[in-house]
Amino acid sequence: MGLVYNPPPNWPTPPPGWQPPPGWQPPPGWRPDPSWGPAPLGWKWMVRANPHAFARASAVSGAVQFVLLPLRVLALGSASRAIGYSLGAAVLSTAVVGTVAWSVRRRWDWWPYLAAVGGMAVLSFMTMSHHSGS
């Protein structure tokens, strides 16, 4: 069975076989009328621009921290401390960057994740060097 257009209440019934133009989307900010009842099964009221934001942020954070791990070992002189800092930085950057990407309305390619995680990596190095003497 193909898709069937179901007009909202009080709208005229379209001619048989009518379909919206290819690529049609509702206008920005459009919301369904609550009197229409719940959405049909499988229909989404809102689709996120970055539904996999946390997975992407996690992948980029893990890769960046893995690449930076030898520098942390050299800076701290201890592999266990370097691993701890790297894990903490990866978790924090995943949470922050993932939340921002998940919240925005614009689709992110890979480079904004890399830029944001890279910026957080610089900040984590700055705090690491500040605490490395303790």
Q: How many domains does the chain have?
A: 1
Class of residue 40 by CB neighbours under 10 A (exposed 0-12, middle 13-18, buried 19+): exposed
pLDDT confidence tier of residue 48, bands split at 50, 70 and 90: confident
**Residue 47 domain flag:** no
Q: What is the mean pLDDT of residues 22-43?
A: 71
**Residue 13 domain flag:** no
CA–CA dist 7, 13 (Å, integer) = 7
Do 94 and 53 meet the contact criterion of CB atoms below 8 Å apart?
no
Structural domain boundaries, residue 101 = 53-131
**Residue 64 domain flag:** yes
Q: Write down the pTM of the prediction.
A: 0.62
Amino acid at 130: H
Q: Across the chain, what does the average pLDDT equal?
A: 82
Each residue's pLDDT tens digit, 61-110: 999 999 999 998 998 888 998 999 899 999 999 999 999 999 988 899 99
CA–CA dist 65, 83 (Å, integer) = 9
**Residue 7 domain flag:** no
The better pLDDT of the pair 66, 45 is held by 66
